Amino acid sequence: MFKGICRETHNGNMVTKILKIPKFFTCIRNFSSENVLVEVNNKTNTAILRLSRPPVNGLNLEVLNEFESLLSQLEQQKVNGVIITSNKEGILTGGIDIAELQTIDQRRLKKYWTTFRDTFLKLYNTPLLTVAVINGHSPAGGCLFSTACDYRVMTRNYNIGGNETQLGLVAPIWFMDRVADLIGHRQAELAFTQGKLFSTDEAHKLGLIDEIVENTAEGLSKAQIIINSFANVPKKAREISKRFTRQQFLDKMIRDTDDDIRHFVNHIGSNETQKIIEQYMQKLKSKRF
Ligand X SMILES: CCCCCC/C=C\CC(=O)SCCNC(=O)CCNC(=O)[C@H](O)C(C)(C)COP(=O)(O)OP(=O)(O)OC[C@H]1O[C@@H](n2cnc3c(N)ncnc32)[C@H](O)[C@@H]1OP(=O)(O)O
Nearer to ligand X, 171 or 227 (CB): 171
Contact region for ligand X (CB under 6 A) — 41-49, 89-97, 184-192, 211-219?
A: 89-97
Say whether residue 88 binds ligand X (CB under 6 A).
no
Q: Angle, nearest 10°, between helix axes 257-268 and 106-125? A: 130
> Total residues at the site for ligand X (CB under 6 A)?
26
Residue type, 181: D
Provide the 8-state DSSP code for 280. H
Residue 155 to residue 90: CA distance in whole angstroms: 9
- In the complex, the smallest distance separating the C-beta of residue 55 from ligand X, rounded to whole angstroms, is 4
Say whether residue 195 binds ligand X (CB under 6 A).
no
Nearer to ligand X, 206 or 281 (CB): 281
Using an 8 Å Cβ cutoff, are 16 and 7 in contact? yes
**185 C-beta neighbours (distance < 10 Å), count:** 12
Say whether residue 226 binds ligand X (CB under 6 A).
no
Say whether residue 94 binds ligand X (CB under 6 A).
yes
Residue from 48, 56, 70, 83 binding ligand X (CB under 6 A): 56
Residue 57 to residue 141: CA distance in whole angstroms: 11
Say whether residue 81 binds ligand X (CB under 6 A).
no
Residues in the chain: 289
Say whether residue 137 binds ligand X (CB under 6 A).
yes
Interface with ligand X in residues 245-284 (CB under 6 A): 263-264, 267, 284
Q: Angle, nearest 10°, between helix axes 271-285 and 257-268? A: 70
Three-state DSSP state, 109: helix
Q: Closest-CB residue for ligand X?
A: 95
Using an 8 Å Cβ cutoff, are 121 and 71 in contact? no
**Site for ligand X, rule CB under 6 A:** 55-56, 58, 91, 94-99, 137, 139-141, 163-164, 167, 169-172, 263-264, 267, 284-285
